[in-house]
Chain A
């Protein structure tokens, strides 16, 4: 654990001493709750159509698949005409693409990014390594099955899938969203303890709050 996250006694400027435990005091300790659709079916259908036509991807290339996302910004494949944009901050993004192998070190950061995104949010696993470990199936450092740690809406198989395959995958994701079936965020909130137990079993040095609001 980093030194600044340990429980320690701090002396204030007026000489008053107090204990501070950063992980408890500086972060919100609530568990997430599920945000269920509240409007009528037609309105939710309209909202889901809007969410599908305007997918904002978090610009976080977690593995080697990020190199297949970059051609989508170029004129040849042009994902912008499908309403897809890349955003640099998880607060503004809806879709987290786990592109390729996920080492435990990156898994900790990906969880932090995923939990900071706002509901409704989606996860797409890109490449075989997210499905069953791919070519790193016997590695000591990568995870083998992504949906034990995060709720995944779509897997795109391949090592690496070409940009055309990614575009076809986005099309499938749009169909899933428009059919009201992409409720990964609610699934995460409802099975929060199970996901958290899985995550903590592979991430040995957990120095984050349980849910990163």
Chain B
């Protein structure tokens, strides 16, 4: 892993690396160097599999973090590239020409987080939600409980019980505490 960090560091300036396991590391990058990093990892180092492209909403620091998780199947190593984007009008370069499957991930991020990927095929089409008019729902400032209570009819009489104590009362009512 450190060897990979060194090799990659020779080409582009890198941020810090977090080593989670011997074969899983997360490296923080600036967004300008992402595509060259992806090309290097895929073509030279053998990380041929894009496992996922997901986003984390750091509401307190006002950034979105995009995580590109790549996997080298022959060597059984995973590396995640982190890119920080400002939350306002977030947009990022599309990587659908490097991995065509990234188009689907980018569509999901566009709909659920509001991160735009200009040029990605069909990125503005409705994907999971239909007729959605609020802010993108995966953002942490979207209150899903409030939305659900306002828009859907709920059945009254909902009671939550702890399963262990409930079954104990049911089956063994005479035993003590």
A and B touching (Cβ–Cβ under 8 A): yes
The reply on B74 being an interface residue by CB < 8 A is no
Q: Is A178 an interface residue (CB 8 A)?
A: no
* A16 in contact (CB, < 8 A): no
Q: Contacts of A18 on B, CB cut-off 8 Å?
A: none
Tell me the smallest distance from the CB of A4 to a CB of chain B, in Å.
Answer: 15
Report the interface size for chain A: residues with CB under 8 A from the other chain: 21
Chain-B contact segment, one of A62-70, A83-91, A114-122, A130-138: A130-138
Using a CB-CB cutoff of 8 Å, which residues 24-64 of chain A contact chain B?
none
Say whether, besides A132-B158, A137-B158, A140-B137, A148 and B153 are in contact (CB < 8 Å). yes
Within 8 A of B (CB), among A133-149: 133, 137-141, 143-145, 148
CB nearest to B142 among chain A residues = A140
Q: When chains A and B are docked, how far (Å) is the Cα of A37 from the Cα of B85? A: 65
Q: Which of A5-13, A167-175, A183-191, A200-208 contacts B (4 or more CB under 8 A)?
A: A200-208
**What is the interface of chain B mostly: helix, strand, loop, or mixed?**
loop
CB-CB under 8 A from B154, the residues of chain A are 132-133, 137, 144-145
- Contact mask B142-159 → A, CB, 8 Å, 1/0? 101101110111110110
Are A138 and B145 closer than 8 Å at their CB atoms?
yes
Q: Chain B residues near A141 (CB, 8 Å)?
A: 129, 137
Taking a contact as CB atoms under 8 Å apart, the answer to whether B153 and A105 are in contact is: no
A-B CB contacts (within 8 Å), total count: 54
Does B13 belong to the interface (CB within 8 Å)? no
Instruction: Report if B176 contacts A (CB, 8 A).
Output: no
> Which B residues are CB-close (under 8 A) to A105?
128-130
Q: Are A205 and B158 interface neighbours, CB within 8 A?
A: no
CA distance A205 to B126 in the complex (A): 11
CA distance A171 to B144 in the complex (A): 38
In the complex, whether B133 has a CB less than 8 A from a CB of chain A is yes
A205 touches which of B130, B145, B147, B149 (Cβ 8 Å): B130
- Mask, B123-137, CB within 8 Å of A = 1, is 000001111110001
Known: A105-B130, A132-B158, A144-B154. 14 other contacts (CB 8 A): A132-B157, A133-B152, A137-B148, A137-B158, A138-B148, A140-B137, A144-B148, A145-B154, A202-B151, A202-B152, A203-B130, A204-B133, A205-B130, A205-B131
B-binding residues in A (CB < 8 A): 104-105, 108, 131-133, 137-141, 143-145, 148, 198, 201-205
Q: List 15 A-B contacts (CB under 8 A).
A: A132-B155, A132-B158, A133-B158, A137-B158, A138-B145, A140-B142, A140-B147, A140-B148, A141-B137, A144-B153, A144-B155, A145-B153, A145-B155, A204-B133, A205-B130
